[in-house]
Amino acid sequence: MEFELSGHAGLLLWKQTLINIVLRRGPDLTTRQLSVMLIVYLEPKAHTVRGLAATLKVSKPVITRCIDSLSMLGLIKRVRDQDDKRSVFIQRTVKGAVFLTDFAEIIEKSNEEVKTNN
């Protein structure tokens, strides 16, 4: 997996990736939702609303709405902290892992398409 992102190549790759995502007809995630997904799945630690809000420099209600949407899609889930019942962790789901695996494959496919067309 090699990505050549000099000049406008990164923009061309992102454009082709977005087109392929739309054509796939899967969930249409916002940039914020996708950012939360990537943080939760790629950073191996316990995630909270407070921590995600701090990382993205947005308010906790913004993250709560984002998590509500992702939870309804089954891409992440809330789990109560067994030690402190007031705390809630944001965790991965199998459906979310499959979504991101497919997303990674779309990026790789898009990269091949961009290299072929240029």
* Total of domains in the chain: 1
CA Rg, the chain, in Å? 16
Is the pLDDT at 64 greater than 90, yes or no?
A: yes
On whether residue 42 sits in a domain, the answer given is yes
On whether residue 2 sits in a domain, the answer given is no
Is the pLDDT at 6 greater than 90, yes or no?
A: no
On whether residue 38 sits in a domain, the answer given is yes
Return the pLDDT at 4.
58
Collapsing DSSP states into helix, strand and coil, what is residue 5?
coil
Q: Closest Cα partner for 50 from 96, 92, 93, 88? A: 88
- In terms of DSSP bridges, do strands 88-92 and 76-80 run parallel, antiparallel, or are they unpaired? antiparallel
Is the pLDDT at 91 greater than 60, yes or no?
A: yes
Taking residues 83-109, report their average pLDDT.
91
CA trace torsion 102, 112, 114, 107 (10° rounding): 20
C-alpha angle with apex 82: 80 to 86, nearest 5 degrees? 55
On whether residue 31 sits in a domain, the answer given is yes
On whether residue 3 sits in a domain, the answer given is no
- Considering the chain, what is the average pLDDT of its residues? 90
CATH code, 85: 1.10.10.10
Taking residues 72-86, report their average pLDDT.
88
On whether residue 98 sits in a domain, the answer given is yes
On whether residue 57 sits in a domain, the answer given is yes
Taking residues 89-109, report their average pLDDT.
94
On whether residue 4 sits in a domain, the answer given is no
Please tell me the pTM assigned to this model: 0.85
Percentage of the chain with pLDDT > 70?
93
Range of the domain at 18: 9-117
Q: Are 5 and 14 in contact (CB under 8 A)?
A: no
DSSP 8-state assignment for residue 23? H
